[in-house]
């Protein structure tokens, strides 16, 4: 099991601080937001030249889009970028409102992503679907529909704790257990009053979530998906401590409910 971090950055200075400082905190890798890698997609060699000295700086990339012709073309180009920079995983957020799709649409998306996932797999890159609030795979039954239609092992599942809770799925641990054959990436994110929080400072009870991760013998990435807007270095440290203590079963990581708020 490896511990990752993901966080949007608003300035070049902040991006450099993230890219050069994550390993000092203890993280094994970063999962990059689109704004952090987009300028390099057509010139991956420039990314390697600038950021290659920082191992794990692009362990994963997160992309959003539709699955129309243009969206599929962009995703294929991203597979090429990922292969060139040594990125393990493309995490896909399907940015189509949930109200616009039905059950057969979800099955069709699963078949299309399976074909794309097969292409990525042949390039040494894995494709993982990030379920999301107000996207096609949002509800518990959407997960059943989608992963009942994908072709294994070509599409993984990125479980996002806050997006499950926000979507009305309270049993996050149950999702991890039920979809253990697909889960390849876990995004830990806290939530309170409809807002994302630094891990441990929201209302989500992570004790059963950590238990489920250990129970299934998970050996993928557990990533702090930090979108609270808090100060970068402090959030990186707080999230790392929360994850590692939770995975090891120590008291702080097992606490649930409302804690110190940011």
pLDDT value, residue 259: 44
pLDDT value, residue 250: 65
pLDDT value, residue 249: 83
pLDDT value, residue 256: 37
Domains of the chain in start order, with CATH, are: 2-254 (3.20.20.150)
Q: What is the pLDDT of residues 9-49, one digit of tens each?
A: 999 999 999 999 999 999 999 999 999 999 999 999 999 99
One-letter-per-residue 3-state SS of 106-128: HHHHHHHHHHHHHHHHHCCCEEE
pTM of the predicted protein model: 0.93
What does the alpha-carbon distance between residue 52 and residue 74 come to, in Å, rounded to a whole number?
23
Ranges in the chain, pLDDT < 50:
251-262
DSSP E strands in 24-110: the ranges are 29-32, 60-65, 89-94
pLDDT value, residue 253: 38
What does the alpha-carbon distance between residue 201 and residue 39 come to, in Å, rounded to a whole number?
34
């Amino acid at each position: 099991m490896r511990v990752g971090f993901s966080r949007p950055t608003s300035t070049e200075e902040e991006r450099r601080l993230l890219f050069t400082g994550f390993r000092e905190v203890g993280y094994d890798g970063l999962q990059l937001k689109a704004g952090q890698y987009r300028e390099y997609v057509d010139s991956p060699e420039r990314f390697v030249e600038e950021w290659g000295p920082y191992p794990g700086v692009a362990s994963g990339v997160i992309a959003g889009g539709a699955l129309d012709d243009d969206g599929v073309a962009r995703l294929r180009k991203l597979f090429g970028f990922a292969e060139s920079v040594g990125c393990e995983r493309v995490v896909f957020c399907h940015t189509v409102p949930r109200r616009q799709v039905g059950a057969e649409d979800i099955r069709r998306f699963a078949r299309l992503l399976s074909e794309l996932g097969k292409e990525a797999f042949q390039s040494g890159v894995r494709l993982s679907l990030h379920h999301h609030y107000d996207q096609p795979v949002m509800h518990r039954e959407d997960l059943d529909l989608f992963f009942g239609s994908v072709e294994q092992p070509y599409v993984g599942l990125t479980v996002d704790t806050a997006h499950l809770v926000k979507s009305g799925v309270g049993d996050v641990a149950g999702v991890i257990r039920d979809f253990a054959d697909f889960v390849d990436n876990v995004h830990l994110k806290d939530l309170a009053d409809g807002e994302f929080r630094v891990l441990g400072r929201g209302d989500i009870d992570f004790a059963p979530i950590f238990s489920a991760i250990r129970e299934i013998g998970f050996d993928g990435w557990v990533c702090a998906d930090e979108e609270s807007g808090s100060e970068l270095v402090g959030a990186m440290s707080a999230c790392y401590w929360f994850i590692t203590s939770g995975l090891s079963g120590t008291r702080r990581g097992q606490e649930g409910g409302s804690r110190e708020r940011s």
